[in-house]
Amino acid sequence: MERRLSKQAPKIVVVGSMNMDLMIRCDALPCPGETKMAQQCEEFCGGKGANQAVAAARAGGHVTMIGRVGEDGFGETMLHNLTANDVQTSSVIRTAACGSGMAAVMVEDSGQNSILVVPGANGRLTSEDVSSHAEIIGEADVVMLQLEVPLPTVQTVMEIANDADTKIILDPAPVIAPLPEPLFAADLFCPNESEAAALVGFDVHDLDSARRAAEALHDRGVPSVVVTLGDRGAWLTTFGLSQVFPAYPIDVLDTTAAGDAFAGALAVEWARTNDLAAATRYATAAGALAASKRGAQTGLPFEDDIQSLIRKHI
């Protein structure tokens, strides 16, 4: 689907991971020590960084990806896929003598999933790499970060962005607890329930506990927090505002990249409107649409589809 972006489309920079996902479908996830027969195995381009880059591009942003891939077939395929989705890849580094990142994603019929990630070239992304792209980061409206690349690299990006007054969204996944204190300098956290629980030290399972988790992270110094709650929507806590955004009704097929769709759309709409409530509503619609389709990046929604779902439920 060809997109026509206006010159006013927000500039989004994503610094993060690129993985080739081996998607294994089964009726139910295996328990520890259990061997089960799967239904199907497919290859999809993924990685939280690349997923969020494609999500932001489809949601209406001018997106640049910064990261590393290996000099292998997976790396070539992932770069081609990003380019096909209008993501700028000139800042992606090819890494010699190292395989690209990959992930084994097991998805059961209910839509729930379990994921094992091999970092590969993602683990070689250094502070020097991102410092060499400081101008690109500084010119962005929003920089997006996750935790599938080395933490010192993430911290360097945050320092560059903060010096340039570039907004920072941190998706703290895969969760690291305790989270290093410098990472609380992000402008916005967007964890899911389990990530929020690991960060705050208590169970997050409903709207009240999501509110308390968001407020706890807010008290740690994060100006704004959005906790995603799956079929219960999202909870936003920011200066002067604490609000729940109900989920849009959809038939769940695959939740693999729903959080990435949420984060990418959130970045674009926040940069475009400077209104976190509007951005959270837009992101909630994007996450719902992503969960209604199979595949990580193949199921990410386009701007017109997101707006259409929102209009349908006004």
Task: Supply the residues annotated as catalytic.
Answer: 260
* C-alpha closest to that of 154 among 115, 181, 192, 117: 181
The whole-angstrom separation of Cα 262 and Cα 266 is: 6
Neighbours of 180 (CB within 10 A): 11
Interatomic CA distance for residues 17 and 226, integer angstroms: 22
Q: Say how far apart CA 314 and CA 286 lie, in whole Å.
A: 15
- 232: number of Cβ within 10 Å: 16
For residue 164, the 8-state DSSP code is T
Question: Which among 188, 310, 197 is positioned nearest to 245, based on CA atoms?
Answer: 310
Q: What residues have CB less than 8 Å from 204, skipping those under 6 apart? A: 193, 194, 196, 197, 210, 213, 227
Q: HSE on the CB side for 120, CA within 13 Å?
A: 30
List, in order, residues 6 or more apart from 8 with CB less than 8 Å away: none
Q: Residue 171, Cα to own-chain centre: how many angstroms? A: 6
**Do 67 and 93 touch, CB atoms closer than 8 A?**
yes
